[in-house]
Structure 1
Amino acid sequence: MIADFEKFIDQVEDPEHQQRVRDVLEWVQTTFPQLEQRYAWNQPMFTDHGTFIIGFSVAKTHMAFAPEGTVMEAFATDIQADHYNPGKKFGRIKWSQPVDYDLLKRIIEFNIADKADCTTFWRK
């Protein structure tokens, strides 16, 4: 199902972190089967009609989700409530924190709806 991302997942050293990344990517694909998988800029991402919806990356202390700055602003309160460390265009979920799948679902749904008429990869 997420075959395009296996090489990325295999690079995650900790087996528990590797499984978490796989779980999240599989959840996105299962929950939003219409999204296309794309691997670019060294990260797995999901697109809709050629426009970016969300990407993921990993670091030693966290997994990050990147839905673009507009979405980070729209969900700032929820991201802060989950104690995810927000950046301007992405949020960091510490490996020790649970993944808030409801929040991710709302973020992805927002991006799909907000970018329904978008003809570029990134927002202008």
Structure 2
Amino acid sequence: MEEFETYLASIPNAEHSKQLRIVLEWVLHTFSNLKPRFAWGQPMFTDHGTFILGFSTAQKHFAIAPEGEGIRQFSEKVIAAGYEHSVKFIRIKWEQPVNYALLEEIIRFNMADKADCTTFWRK
């Protein structure tokens, strides 16, 4: 979590910072093989040098970025969970519970789908 401490400290709302910390720690503990990295102004996780998932914050939500393919694969489940999404981000309002089962499914998909990927981003 050292990579993310400055970012977490920069979140103006202490409760939001605490909530995102819980999510990031969950990713670290659930997927201990993923490497935490801070790049492009956001906490992210990589696997064998390829991007798996990133996070960002806004006043009313935090966002999960699994790349476009991760959004396409899980769009219906994301909407069923009560979240909004764009082509790049899933937005979870600060007052919404995190659907960890869905988050785990998205991460596992990206890891499997990018198992042979030799670039940071999908081509």
C-alpha distance in 2 between matches for 1:96 and 1:21: 12
Q: What is residue 94 of structure 2 aligned with on the other side?
A: 95
- Give the counterpart letter for 2:96 in structure 1: Q
Q: What is residue 122 of structure 2 aligned with on the other side?
A: 123
Structure 1: gaps of 5 or more residues: none
- Give the counterpart letter for 2:54 in structure 1: G
* Cα deviation 1:50-73 (Å, max 9, x = unaligned): 000000000000000000001100
Give the secondary-structure state (helix, strand or coil) at the position aligned to 1:29.
Answer: helix
Give runs of ≥4 in structure 1 deviating > 3 Å.
none
Q: What is residue 109 of structure 1 aligned with on the other side?
A: 108
C-alpha distance in 1 between matches for 2:89 and 2:67: 7
Aligned 1:1-124 pairs, distance under 5 A: 2-124=1-123
Give the secondary-structure state (helix, strand or coil) at the position aligned to 1:116.
Answer: coil
- Give the counterpart letter for 2:71 in structure 1: M
How many residue pairs match? The answer is 123
C-alpha distance in 2 between matches for 1:90 and 1:79: 11
Structure 1 length as normaliser, TM-score? 0.98
Give the secondary-structure state (helix, strand or coil) at the position aligned to 2:63.
Answer: strand
- Give the counterpart letter for 2:82 in structure 1: H
